[in-house]
Amino acid sequence: MAIDVKKLLSGALLELCNERPLAKVTVKDIIQKAGASRQTFYNHFKDKNDLITYTYCTHVIGDFRSADMKLGFYEFLCDAHKYCVKYKKFYTQACSLEGQNSLREYIFEQNYRNYLSLVIEGHGKNVITDELLWAIRFNAMGAINMHFKWVQDDMSIAPDVKAKYVLNCIPEILRQYLPA
């Protein structure tokens, strides 16, 4: 059985995050903890932020994907926020890091693409207008800023309440295209 090097490095990052602030964790720390070489790290990741994003994708949201909307958009949001709470220590620290290739940048782009995909998959490209694209981008940016504020505030609002707040803030021009 082959070793999944990416998961090994990601696991090392999560362990180190429990030992000291993520901002102080270096690539050297990660490779020492994982028992990997520097070259191995850079064969799989551009930098520490790239590993953080990978860890977010594999551990925080795991198999959870926007394509799985069978239960509806509200339940989707509840699940997303519950995953954040599950990995609170890592996620809180990862969200505080800024700069090129940051998790904030990744989550914004992911959020924007998810909204756009939901509209197109459910209603086709012909409904896309400049106004709708503006609403999607505006909502994605606002949602991310409020999400990071929620994280910064120690996730003090329960995931289901936060999901309700998010839904109530989506403009009608976008809400009409989202799954019930």
pLDDT tens for each residue of 104-137: 999 999 999 989 998 998 899 999 999 999 999 9
* Helix count and strand count (H, E) for the chain: 10, 0
Q: The dihedral of CA 172, 176, 179, 180: what is its sign? A: positive
Domains with residue ranges and CATH for the chain = 5-52 (1.10.10.60), 69-175 (no CATH)
**pTM metric for this prediction:** 0.85
For 71-81, write each residue's pLDDT tens digit.
688 888 888 88
Residue 63 has pLDDT above 70, yes or no: no
